[in-house]
Amino acid sequence: MATGQLFSRTTQALFYNYKQLPIQRMLDFDFLCGRETPSVAGIINPGAEGFQKLFFGQEEIAIPVHSTIEAACAAHPTADVFINFASFRSAAASSMAALKQPTIRVVAIIAEGVPESDTKQLIAYARSNNKVVIGPATVGGIQAGAFKIGDTAGTIDNIIHCKLYRPGSVGFVSKSGGMSNEMYNTIARVTDGIYEGIAIGGDVFPGSTLSDHILRFNNIPQVKMMVVLGELGGRDEYSLVEALKQGKVNKPVVAWVSGTCARLFKSEVQFGHAGAKSGGEMESAQGKNQALREAGAIVPTSYEALEAAIKETFAKLVEEEKITPVKEIKPPQIPEDLNSAIKSGKVRAPTHIISTISDDRGEEPCYAGVPMSSIVEQGYGVGDVISLLWFKRSLPRYCTHFIEICIMLCADHGPCVSGAHNTIVTARAGKDLVSSLVSGLLTIGPRFGGAIDDAARYFKDAYDRCLTPYEFVESMKKKGIRVPGIGHRIKRGDNRDKRVELLQRFARTHFPSVKYMEYAVQVETYTLSKANNLVLNVDGAIGSLFLDLLAGSGMFSKQEIDEIVEIGYLNGLFVLARSIGLIGHTFDQKRLKQPLYRHPWEDVLYTK
Ligand code: Q5B
């Protein structure tokens, strides 16, 4: 293992597997420490590339995302720490790939459950290539005021509380990540704080050992004393015992091996970590504490006495003027995330969108306040859903039935109409469903299918102003406007549109009043007297009948009716209905494997 410093205030890492929270915590720590550059240079998210937006203090920054370790290392040659948040299944392979990169010096493996044989290979490779592995099964480590791995030391509040935003004089190494948080607190209480803290992880074969880090701390001048928190199970602590005995450590080491309670159990006990298994005397906490004590470490009589032992050791070093306690600094305030500030009621923010028709935030989505379960359980139909989402109210059954009839009757009108023709040509050009559908929908307008709103507008205006059909049609003619809802390419006075008949029959039977429709029929009688093709068409029938629905249902105020007509809701019925047919035509052409459409020359008049 390399001697001395692992990290500095300029160390940058590559973060494997995108995990928003630990990366943001690293960046928040950077800001707290007054780092000039973010400690995460790049993210590796296998198969994905681009940028990930995160905060560096108040500023939003875009961190590059790479799809491979190789690409990330090539793009960020100065980033020498690899923080591996891969699952236990892929942690070993990705860690080995990272170790093989010449730019990577330290690899931290967070995953628990990495196969021991894989870890051994990683350790062997790292040792022979002078690289450092922290973990597996670790939270990572921290160099106070400089660099932090992932979630180490927990929340920003805890980091501030433990004064980890600036370096102290204590080097700390632990097996347990959870306990290291506890110890950061303890050490901050009774000393001037942590210089560096490492959790080596609870596996039987850690990538780097307690003694590796103690020997390294021994070489860092800023580290004046060391604290070790070992664990029962395994023999890792004995390499530290050896190092102490051989005089390789010349700074005070306060140590405690937890798990003394294992003796209270009759049988062998496995604690939380894979390596924390009570075995023989050598593996016991008592055995290790005794060996460390005999080798010269300061070992208290219980965990409870550890804090006092650290305090005493620190005080002695201060007294001997080996430590000049660091001056306190006030860390900058991390800006609070908007979401949490809103949640806690500290700030208010204007919304950017207002919506009144549906809400998916609760247990189940609601349409105009009606939950999905009611829609299904109470047998609502498409007409009811349209009523809720378009008109924001439940309409009487005859109204929703009328809406459904409109949808059914307008769903298709053969392959020769404008919309279907466009859809067919588009589908035959090899385009996808949505392209084929919208190319058909785009033909809907004042001449084709999209005359319903104008029909409603003009019929309503003429009827409300008590114009006779003659006055209405002739005034339109004077203005050069064709009467919307009148006229058809193939329907005639002697070949009426069946759809119009069906709609009229339904309305005459169920609507309380059909005054607008009867007016439209009078207009038709007049236009038919002029030309046989000037029938009331399906757009005209729906437009006039919807006026009757709005006025006769008693569910809409006069202003609401005017608004519906003014905004133009009713073409929506044709758009919705005809989408069904256009989708059908797309499938039909695809199913029939029809080739690219080309219009025949013979069907074009070429002229100058
Ligand atoms: N003339 C629909 O015209 C069509 C007149 C008129 C006064 C009128 C035409 C029109 C208003 C828009 C409308 C919806 C373009 C139609 C639909 C869905 C569909 C389609 C399908 C489906 C047809 C001949 C003479 C001229 C014109 C006069 C025509 N319309 N005068 N008011 N409304 N209507 N659209 O047959 O003196 O010779 O110059 O614009 O309601 O789209 O099935 O195909 O389900 O898919 O091409 O049903 O009526 O007639 O243009 O040759 O005109 O009649 O001024 O007079 P045509 P043109 P003049 S339903």
What does DSSP assign to residue 260?
A: G
CA–CA distances in Å: residue 186 to residues 164, 190, 198, 327: 12, 7, 15, 19
For residue 477, give the ligand 1 atom closest to its CA: 7
What's the 581 CA to ligand 1 centre distance in angstroms?
A: 22
* pLDDT tens profile 95-135: 999 999 999 999 999 999 999 999 999 999 999 999 999 99
Per-residue burial over 221-242, b if 16 or more Cβ lie within 10 Å, else e, is ebbbbbbbbbbbbbebbbebbe
For the Cβ of 449 lying below 6 angstroms from any atom of ligand 1, the answer is: yes
Residue nearest ligand 1's atom 34 by CA? 487
What does DSSP assign to residue 259?
A: -
The residue written with tokens 């892929």 in the block is 90
Nearest to residue 573, comparing CAs of 369, 393, 399, 415? 399
For the Cβ of 534 lying below 6 angstroms from any atom of ligand 1, the answer is: yes
For the Cβ of 177 lying below 6 angstroms from any atom of ligand 1, the answer is: no
**240 near 208, Cβ under 8 Å?**
no
For the Cβ of 592 lying below 6 angstroms from any atom of ligand 1, the answer is: no
User: Above pLDDT 70, what percent of the chain?
Assistant: 96
Burial class (CB in 10 A: 0-12, 13-18, 19+), 49: exposed
- Structural tokens at position 361: 């935030």
- Structural tokens at position 475: 């005034």
Catalytic site residue 273? Answer: yes
* pLDDT tens profile 14-28: 999 999 999 999 999
Place 176 in a pLDDT band, splitting at 50, 70 and 90. Answer: confident
Place 327 in a pLDDT band, splitting at 50, 70 and 90. Answer: confident
Query: In order of start, what are the domains of the chain with their CATH numbers?
Result: 13-320 (3.40.50.261), 358-401 (no CATH), 402-592 (no CATH)
What's the 601 CA to ligand 1 centre distance in angstroms?
A: 27
For residue 420, give the ligand 1 atom closest to its CA: 46
- Structural tokens at position 605: 């008049």
For the Cβ of 520 lying below 6 angstroms from any atom of ligand 1, the answer is: no
Whether residue 2 is predicted with pLDDT greater than 50 in this model: the reply is no
Alpha-carbon span 427 to 432, nearest angstrom: 7
- Over residues 197-207, mean pLDDT: 92
Pocket test for ligand 1, best of 537, 579, 585 (most atoms within 8 A of CB): 537
- Give me the count of residues in the chain: 608
Which amino acid is located at 606 in the chain? Y
Alpha-carbon span 34 to 156, nearest angstrom: 14
Residue nearest ligand 1's atom 56 by CA? 531
What's the 448 CA to ligand 1 centre distance in angstroms?
A: 9
What are residue 409's phi and psi, to 5 degrees? Answer: -70, -30
- Structural tokens at position 17: 């597997």
* pLDDT tens profile 544-587: 999 999 999 999 999 999 999 999 999 999 999 999 999 999 99
Alpha-carbon span 594 to 590, nearest angstrom: 7
For the Cβ of 451 lying below 6 angstroms from any atom of ligand 1, the answer is: yes
For the Cβ of 531 lying below 6 angstroms from any atom of ligand 1, the answer is: yes
- Structural tokens at position 363: 């247990």
For the Cβ of 578 lying below 6 angstroms from any atom of ligand 1, the answer is: no
Report the greatest alpha carbon distance in the chain: 118
**254 near 313, Cβ under 8 Å?**
yes
pLDDT at residue number 261: 63
For residue 491, give the ligand 1 atom closest to its CA: 43
DSSP string, 523-571: HHHHHHHH-TT--B-HHHHHHHHHHHHHHHSS-S-HHHHHHHHHHT-TH
**145 near 167, Cβ under 8 Å?**
yes
Positive or negative torsion for Cα 371, 373, 375, 378: negative
What's the 457 CA to ligand 1 centre distance in angstroms?
A: 17
For the Cβ of 448 lying below 6 angstroms from any atom of ligand 1, the answer is: yes
Place 265 in a pLDDT band, splitting at 50, 70 and 90. Answer: low
What's the 491 CA to ligand 1 centre distance in angstroms?
A: 10
Alpha-carbon span 510 to 55, nearest angstrom: 62
Nearest to residue 133, comparing CAs of 154, 97, 107, 112? 107
For the Cβ of 440 lying below 6 angstroms from any atom of ligand 1, the answer is: no
Pocket test for ligand 1, best of 478, 533, 570 (most atoms within 8 A of CB): 533
For residue 538, give the ligand 1 atom closest to its CA: 60
For the Cβ of 421 lying below 6 angstroms from any atom of ligand 1, the answer is: no
**Mean pLDDT of the chain, nearest integer:** 94
Q: What is the pTM of this model?
A: 0.69
Alpha-carbon span 542 to 425, nearest angstrom: 29
What's the 586 CA to ligand 1 centre distance in angstroms?
A: 27
For the Cβ of 539 lying below 6 angstroms from any atom of ligand 1, the answer is: yes
Nearest to residue 270, comparing CAs of 308, 231, 296, 238? 231
For residue 485, give the ligand 1 atom closest to its CA: 41
Pocket test for ligand 1, best of 407, 489, 523 (most atoms within 8 A of CB): 489
Please tell me which residue in 66, 76, 213, 273 is annotated as part of the active site: 273
What's the 183 CA to ligand 1 centre distance in angstroms?
A: 85
Place 267 in a pLDDT band, splitting at 50, 70 and 90. Answer: low
For the Cβ of 483 lying below 6 angstroms from any atom of ligand 1, the answer is: yes
* pLDDT tens profile 24-71: 999 999 999 999 999 999 999 998 999 999 999 999 999 999 999 999
